[in-house]
Amino acid sequence: MSRRAPCARFTPTRPARSVASRSCIPGPARRWMMRSSTGEDLVELSTHGGLVVPAAAVAALLAAGARPARPGEFTRRAVLNGKLDLLQAEATADLIDAGSPAQARRALHQLDRGLSTRLAELRSELLELEALIAYEIDFPDEDEGPVAPERVVRAWQAARGRIAGLLDTAPEGERLREGALLVIAGRPNAGKSSLFNALLGTERAIVTEVPGTTRDAVEAHAVLEGFPFRLVDTAGLRESDDRVERLGIEVSRKYLAAADLVIFCRDAGCEMRDAGSQEFLATCRAPVIEVVTKIDLAVRPTARPPDRPGVSVVTGRWATWSRW
């Protein structure tokens, strides 16, 4: 294929003939594009749809010496040719792996050089700072006089502020990529597994009326309101003589220590805060959403906080206390 002017396109008037089978590759369009995403010359062949025609076209190309691209090969070529930077290449993989709209949005933002631009700006700020300091060290007696200390301080503060901003958004990025760790905790029989299943939309965890049913943490990925979560159902928190249950509670505590967000379930029937729950809520580092469960069984009392959310997996209702 010869090199043509940028963006030149070539559409043959007659269908091409395959090398291997001499059969016809009918196609509405074949074209060369010079401004390709990889930065390399590219021939794009369009065939009619279906199974046979595209397969015949691919077979003909393979017979002529072509080979299928390896996974990520075009992105790699784009990086090598300076069309994408490494962060954009990573964003391409993130976009392909995106399991939620929020992840896709973030990957697209990065493909659009979101983080790359911020890093480029930081780089130039650091270079300016370095130049100011180097000037002061190397040429303290130059005619132009010393660099004003305020200028160095301003440059330093700008760079430091940008680094702090990047560090601030890093955990958020990590959560979006991996899914925020959302742990469902509470006393035994509080309805944790039922809520877990309802959020997942599938019967993933065992539910029974026996307190202490869940003995190990059950983890699943979920997309809630467009955001990815690692949802974890845990063993109910209580003092227990049962060795297996104690081990399960230990696992619960480990998850709770690592949680990004905790849903603390409280059975509407026994809603008064017990000492254990109080202690837990006081020591939990992650934000805690207290949820009153089984609201279909509750009789509405008068003196309750109006803003605590309540749920019933039986009726499918989710409401704040004031609306029960």
**Residue nearest to ligand GTP according to CB distances in the complex:** 236
Q: Which does 106 bind (CB under 5 to 8 A by kind): Mg ion, ligand GTP, none?
A: none
Comparing CB distances to Mg ion, the nearer of 83 and 215 is 215
The yes or no reply on residue 234 touching Mg ion (CB under 5 A) is no
Using rule CB under 5 A, residue 18 touches Mg ion: no
Tokens 């081990």 -> residue: 247
Partner interacting with residue 75 (select from ligand GTP, Mg ion, none; CB below 5-8 Å by kind): none
The footprint of ligand GTP (CB under 6 A) covers: 186, 188-194, 207-209, 211-214, 236, 293-294, 296-297, 312-314
What is the C-alpha to C-alpha distance for residues 27 and 57, in angstroms, rounded to an integer? 10
Smallest Cα–Cα separation from 35: which of 102, 81, 101?
Answer: 81
Contact 6, 34 (CB under 8 A): yes
**Does 293 sit near Mg ion (CB under 5 A)?**
no
Give whichever of 32 and 264 is closer to ligand GTP, judged by the CB atom: 264
Q: Which does 191 bind (CB under 5 to 8 A by kind): Mg ion, ligand GTP, none?
A: ligand GTP
| Residue 38 or 213 with smaller CB distance to ligand GTP | 213
The answer for residues whose C-beta is within 8 angstroms of residue 99's C-beta and 6 or more apart is 221, 223, 228
Tokens read off for 197: 């299943």
CB of residue 211 vs Mg ion: minimum separation in angstroms? 9
Least distance in Å: CB of 202 to Mg ion?
15
CB of 234 to ligand GTP, least distance (A): 8
Show the tokens assigned to 87. Answer: 């962060």
CA 116 to chain centroid: 18
How many CB atoms are closer than 10 A to CB 2? 5
Helix extents (H) in 43-148: 52-63, 73-80, 86-97, 101-111, 114-138
From Mg ion, ligand GTP, none, interface partner of 179 (C-beta below 5 to 8 A by class): none
Edge-to-edge strand ranges of the sheet holding 261-267:
218-224, 227-233, 180-186, 261-267, 288-293, 309-312, 317-320
Binding mask 181-210 for Mg ion (x = CB under 5 A): -----------xx-----------------
Cβ proximity to ligand GTP: between 100 and 277 the closer is 277
Residue among 186 and 228 whose Cβ is closer to ligand GTP: 186
Contact partner, 194, from ligand GTP, Mg ion, none, Cβ < 5-8 Å per class: ligand GTP
Q: Report whether 220 contacts 204 (CB < 8 A).
A: yes
Cα separation, 121 vs 173, whole angstroms:
19
Residue that is written with structure tokens 């696992």 in the block: 251
18 versus 193: smaller Cβ distance to Mg ion: 193
Smallest gap from Cβ 293 to Mg ion, in A, equals 11
Helix, strand, or coil (residue 2)? coil
* Residue from 92, 103, 110, 214 binding Mg ion (CB under 5 A): 214
Residue with smaller CB distance to ligand GTP, 110 or 312: 312
Q: How many CA atoms lie within 13 A of 148 on its CB side?
A: 4
Size of the site for Mg ion (CB under 5 A): 4
130 DSSP β-pair partners: none
Binding site for Mg ion (CB under 5 A): 192-193, 213-214
